[in-house]
Every structure is written in structure tokens, then in C-alpha cells.
Amino acid sequence: MARLPQVTLRLPRQLYERAERLVKKHPTGSVNDFIVKALAAYVEAIERKAIDDSFRGMADDNAYHREALQIVAEFGG
């Protein structure tokens, strides 16, 4: 198995304690596992938002809408 980088985090005490309480209440791993899962979910959300934002302009793009309607018409839609 590949070695994982080891990092040191400085967390606000209250945030750490809240995470620790959740881990104790729902034992699915360690606080470290919790932080890794939370960070992964946050990164995925940011990446998903960036993709969504890149397509948002299509809603008001008349040239795109004309082309899409033309494609639908050509394929019998």
C-alpha cells in the first residue's frame, strides 16, 4: 500500500470536540477518518460546483439553443 502523507492540522478546539463527539456517537472510524471523509466531500462539492458553473451560461446562450433544437429536429425528436 502506498504511504499516505502525514500532515499536522490546527483545528479550533470546539470544531475538533464536535467531530470527536460525532465519531464517538457514530463509531465508523477515527477522528482522522472523519476529517479525511469530510475533506473529500468538500473537495468534491467544490469541483462539482465549478462544473455546474461552467455550464450555467448555456441557459442564456441563444446560439446553443438554436443548435440543440436543430440537432433534435435532425434526429426526429
Instruction: Give me the residue spans of the domains in the chain.
Output: 14-74
In one letter, which amino acid is 67? E
Q: Answer whether 29's CB lies under 8 Å from 17's CB.
A: no
Q: Answer whether 23's CB lies under 8 Å from 29's CB.
A: yes
For 11-42, write each residue's pLDDT tens digit.
Answer: 999 999 999 999 999 988 999 999 999 999 99
Q: What pTM was estimated for this model as a whole?
A: 0.69
